Structure 1
Amino acid sequence: MTRWGILATGNIAARFAEDLRLVPGAELVAVGSRTPESAERFAARHEIPRWYGSWTELAADDGVDVIYVATPHAAHYEATRVCLDAGRAVLVEKPFTLDLPTTTELVETARARGVFLMEAMWMRTNPLILRVLELVADGAIGEPTGVRADFGLAGPFPPEHRLRARALGGGALLDLGVYPVSLAHLLFGVPQHVRAWAKLSPEDVDENTGIVLGYDSGVVATLSCGLVGPSGVTASIIGSCGRIDLPEPFFRPGSAVLHRVGAEPETLPAELVGGGYQDEAAEVQRCLAAGLTESPLVPHSATLEVMALLDDIREQIGVHYS
């Protein structure tokens, strides 16, 4: 059995706790929060035997093999550092941190201590997304020429909402844009050219953002994210003789449609079970059982490269966090 702890007690933590029931060999044994009252309520709701009123107490529990960090992303660095300092394996919700320097520090700490560390970018462990990658690599749509992806929410969000709070890493890019950017990186790696523009909110976080990534191969990624209107949350991967469409939500699609020139569209179904967190949890357990300190599906290099892209984009659009 792999003994899990969850750090934080919000909605994402609750969804992860439910999905963990679907993972063979997983046992949720502890939860930690900043307050004992919150931890106790969460433990009772999810039938967790141990609860702690601080992150440090959770990290010190020798009966925990790996901790899932489910805080808002402005707290990812501090929470993950507490866990790594205690020698605990960690799965960190995306985006990894607010910037590349803090992400780099955590990765270097994990490597130096030989502790497993992985970003919870579930798209990289999704079976259908992995199948789509195989199709593109095998030439199913010919020579790749581009990818288009969007993620927009309707709002409006009040000024006190975390998505508008600069102190909490607010804005569309880190919360939503990380998905389109990660899809482009997953398909084509690091671009040679990055251009971005955004309309900023009164709080100086981005609320409508457009991104173009250019590759010397000729591939173009056209990406967008926003808090000002509900987009389709879809993606298309284009090639010289076809394309693959990913319906809403493209980062966890219920199907994909393969279009080839001169042929009928082919639907690739997916079996949707749970909320989507179980695949990343299963990957963590596979890696721990194999004695790995990073996942080949979600390697440290990918996390660092995507965070470097997000830093570049933020600089161009003028969003700065303290």
Structure 2
Amino acid sequence: MHHPDLCIAGAGIIGLSLALELHDRGYRVTVFDQGAPLAESSTAAAGMLAAHDPDNPPQLLSLASLSLSLYPDFLDRIHTLSGLRIPFQTHTTLQSVPPDTAIADSELTCEDLAHLLPALTPSDHRFVLLDEHSLDPRQLASALLAAVRATTINLQPHTAVLSTHSIDNAVEITTPKGTIHAAQFVNCTGAWAAATSRLPNIPVAPRKGQMFSVSLPPSLPLHFVLRTPDIYIVPRTAGPATGRAIIGATVEDIGFDKAVHPADIDRLRSLAAALLPAIARAHQLEAWSGLRPATSDGLPLLGVLPGQPNHFIATGHYRNGILLAPATARVMAEFIVGGIPSVDLSPFSPARSLSLLPSP
């Protein structure tokens, strides 16, 4: 193998977005993945750019807002390289919020809801409208992969990183294909980050999410996202998946098991049908699961690994990997080249990982 400036482990949306950003800055980049690119949580997601989801930690807002501002240029860059345009699927989210939320003046009345979505059944939920986009992660993945392959980025699928070691001012990276040296290394392996780093103080764990898709009946022309604390319904309005909706998702702490269980899918359907009864009869198209990379405080790990010179990490995005990809690529590239990141990265410092570990 050649000797790149920087190696990335993990060819998901975070790893490949960072590879493109560094490539644009003149870096020679190699990306390894233990499987196929973009085959895990990057394409299992629903695709909501949920920067203002009330379940998000407040410390995430600055990074999420930066990402929203970068998204148009991010998609344009991918289109320029790949020739594939990724449309936004929706532009609004009907969000259930707690009664004591600070945005009470935005609450929709029963009359508003009846006009907006006549099929919505009365419930105890209180709703607001959010200005929020969604996209199809499968469309994004196809275009992003084509964009990467249109550059000189060296993509090495089915090539796991077995070990890394700091040697002088370089990092020795061992894979089944051999050993190479790079000036810097970034761990972007998502839920597998702890195993890839071989360090005990990387508190990233998989959180399984099961979900399914249905063909929406003609009586339910849904053009926005519907989201409560228990369920989301995300319609596809453009591209090959037009006319279907993604419904999810479970949150399970059971390791790397990705089995799909009909009972869990049935429970999700029941929750969705309680809001939109027509979902109960909608034809199921697919069911699948993904593994979200979660930290105990819900914030990603972005920066230098403690005690590991030239070793960086960018993972732990949990349910917001699609949303945060452009901003993560930008701030990590700024950090790696020695610049000042566009947002304060201290809330996301990997140094906090020691305090996130469970007590003995």
**Short-chain TM bin:** 0.3 to 0.5
Q: Which has the higher contact order (CA 8 A, sep 6+)?
A: 2
- Computing the radius of gyration from Cα coordinates, the structure with the larger value is 2
**Could you state the TM-score of these two structures normalised by the residue count of structure 2?**
0.30
1 or 2, which has the higher helix percentage? 1
**Could you state the TM-score of these two structures normalised by the residue count of structure 1?**
0.33
